[in-house]
Amino acid sequence: MSTATDTRTDTVTVTAESVRELLAGAMTQAYTREDLPTLNAVKIYAESGRLYAVATDRYRLIEGSVESEGDLSETVIRLSDVKRILEIVKEKSMNKFPVTINRVGDIVSAAVAGNSITVRSWDCSYPPHAHLFPTGETVAIPAVTFNPAFFADYAKIEKLAGSKKSAGVTVSFYGEKKPLGVELHGEKVSWRALLMPMRKS
């Protein structure tokens, strides 16, 4: 896999607590092994006053967004580098500090309160995702089987928000053998997700 070679310059600013909740939440849905490097990553981009993070492991897909300033073209960051970025925003004392994410060519830097980290954006064909979210009517189905471990990860995302009161998880059904639509609302992040049903054995 080669790295990107363009020289575009983008900058986006967002609070440390928002970055932490967004990236850590997206990581729970990413592919965790390195044999599929394109999916062993999180895609981020910023437009229209929102910073987005997208992750998938082929069985589930999640997209989260937070308020931000500035624009950022689609940037794919390996999970190991996402963890490095999270290290510089992990302290809750930094919650309100602005994090500046800057991309010049394939170099991506994140800086907050005098600390910074530099990683590379990967030039890869990250799967398009927006068209996968259903826009049709929900339907009643008699039953659905899903992986309970995957579903439990939504509770981890809510826990990241640090709220004492859960906003709940909304699940929508669009037909048999079709992905379940999932909505979550964190402290800072609005999430939408898809979860593939399991085949009954």
Burial 6-20 (b: 16+ CB within 10 A, else e): eeeebebebbbbbbb
**Of the candidates 140, 165, 153, which has an alpha carbon nearest to the alpha carbon of residue 193?**
153
CATH architecture, domain defined by 9-120: Roll (3.10)
Q: Where are the domains of the chain?
A: 9-120, 130-195
Residue 89: name the closest of 167, 16, 192, 183 by CA. 16
Tokens of 53: 């993070």
Q: Where are the alpha helices (DSSP H) in 28-147?
A: 79-87
Each residue's pLDDT tens digit in the chain (201 positions)? Answer: 444 455 668 999 999 999 999 999 999 999 999 899 999 999 999 999 999 999 999 999 999 999 999 999 999 999 999 999 999 999 989 999 999 999 999 999 999 999 999 999 998 889 899 999 988 889 998 888 988 999 889 988 888 876 666 678 899 999 888 999 999 988 889 999 999 998 776
Angle of CA points 138, 140, 146, to nearest 5°: 90
pTM score = 0.90
